[in-house]
Structure formats: C-alpha cells, structure tokens
Amino acid sequence: MDQLYARIFADAEFQALQHRRQRFTWLLSALVFAGFLAFILAVAYVPRWLALPMSADSVISRGIPLGSATIVFGFVLTGLFVRRANGEFDRDMARIVARCHDGA
C-alpha cells in the first residue's frame, strides 16, 4: 500500500491536480474573505448608511439584505467548491489511482 501512495504522490498528473485544486481553493477562500471583509468594513465605516430603510415605507434596513447576501455568497461559493470537488477533482483522482494501481 505504501508503494501505491508513493506512486500516486510522484505522479505528474496528481501533482497538477493538487496544484489546480489548491489554486481553486485559495481563489474561493479569497473571495469569501473579501466578501465578509467588505461587509465588516461597511458596518465599521458606514453604519448610518446601512441603517437606512430600503424604501420610504420599509422597516427593513439596508444592512439586513446585505448581511444576508454576504452569508448566501459564502454558501454559494462553498457549493461551487463541493460541486467541482465531487465532480472534476474526484473523477481525475479516481483515474490517477486506477492508473497507478494498475501499474503495481
């Protein structure tokens, strides 16, 4: 089993897959961070603007939908990662493992 792992880790396609997955993970992490940071900065620096009602007869302030959108944004990006991880990344990994296992 250790030889199989060594073959997988040494495989060029596996290394490329790891690089692609890591790049995608960092991109999504940066987007989530930027989204939450933007909302936190808005709360810190423009709280009065966030407290304004959505319309003249509304009881909902601007901050409520913006805060909700920030959370939904995080969920959407998580869903994108899961979809790609369970699809493309798992498919590529299964192909690499099968190829390395057959070469045993």
Q: What is the DSSP letter of 89?
A: I
Q: Where are the domains of the chain?
A: 26-102
Which residues make Cβ contacts (< 8 Å) with residue 78, sequence separation at least 6? 28
pTM, to two decimals = 0.84
Helix/strand/coil (H/E/C) assignment for every residue in 61-87: ECHHHHHHHHHHHHHHHHHHHHHHHHH
Helical ranges in 1-104 per DSSP H: 2-10, 12-45, 47-51, 63-84, 90-102
Q: What percent of the chain has pLDDT over 90?
A: 88
**CA proximity to 84, closest of 10, 34, 17:** 17
Confidence of residue 104 (pLDDT cuts 50, 70, 90): low
Average pLDDT over the chain, rounded to an integer: 94
Q: What is the pLDDT of residues 4-44, one digit of tens each?
A: 899 999 999 999 999 999 999 999 999 999 999 999 999 99
User: Based on C-alpha coordinates, what's the Rg of the chain?
Assistant: 22
